[in-house]
Amino acid sequence: MGADRETPAVPAAEADAARHALVREIVAQGGLTDPAWYAAFVEVPRHLFVPSYYVHGIAGYERLWGEDPDPGRRSRWLSGVYADRALATRIRDGELISSSSQPSLMAQMLEALDVRDGDTVLEIGTGPGYNAALLSHRLGEEAVTSIDLDPEITEPARRHLAAAGHRPTVITGDGARGCPQRAPYDRIIATCTLPSVPQAWLEQCRPGARVLAPFATGLVALRVSATAQGPRAEGHFLHTPAYFVPLRGALPLPAGLPHLGGLPRRAAGNDLFRFLLTLTAGALDPHEALSLWEREGRPQRERYGITVGQGRQWAWLDDPQGPYTWPLSE
């Protein structure tokens, strides 16, 4: 739906004011407590990465872009760029295939990635390149590798990154396979929802590496260890909900939630219960899930976790070897 445009010319003072206002909003929500990430969000201009994006209009999607001759529409574009919300950056045949994530959620994820100076990072899902720029600001561009399946995404991302003064390695390829030629990695961060954890990622990690990825409607943080049977990863979900575009190139995600008819409205509409249903899709009947959920005190996301190892992977509540475990598709 339209070609990617060159970097829009925006008055520096106007862009700086909007960017600082966004950072203040994220800080007010409790984010950006790490000075290094605070500096990255202050200094990396988001508008260079979203020269255009789509919003829902009366007749479907409406495109806003920074080179629009109408000053009112240009103003709407810039206001949207520096609003704390996700932006649809690429749509094909009516389907969203790439976006720029909500900045406050990006800040949470980057801080949860727990990077240290000298770490190398693989990003799965380049999108418009903004997250790769933030990583490059924090760690140096030579430490950052980003991969996306579609050259219509990676080529503009490289241009956006160069315009912002960053040149990390951007690969066009299947993110589910990782990027072995740049391995090993200390951190892997995904910006797309997974149906399962690719074994290739673990094989490309150093022992002790951290993998942070959207799963179901949450974010799981896995620690990778070396065993005689091969790499193993295990960890809990974070507290925050997260909704991302699915990883393309992997097996498809389960086709939505099961039929919720007959369940109490308090459960069917509850975000935490729906998270449990999504996490256990195909492995747990909704009525069984409701009984478990209520019996266990309506658990928050952080009580759940995932284990990958010995040729299988499973989700669990409280204990990976406890009574509540559910297999995940390979």
Classify strands 87-92 and 218-227 as parallel, antiparallel or unpaired: unpaired
The whole-angstrom separation of Cα 158 and Cα 171 is: 10
Phi, psi of 43 (to 5 degrees): -100, -20
Residue 33 buriedness (CB in 10 A; 0-12 / 13-18 / 19+): exposed
| Type of residue found at 263 | L
Phi, psi of 135 (to 5 degrees): -65, -40
The whole-angstrom separation of Cα 213 and Cα 193 is: 7
User: Which residues are known catalytic residues?
Assistant: 98
Which pairs from 29-38 meet CB under 8 Å and 24+ separation? 29/104, 31/104, 31/107, 31/108, 31/111, 32/107, 32/111, 33/111, 34/111, 36/138, 37/107, 37/110, 37/111, 37/134, 37/138
| H or E element, residue 227 | strand 218-227
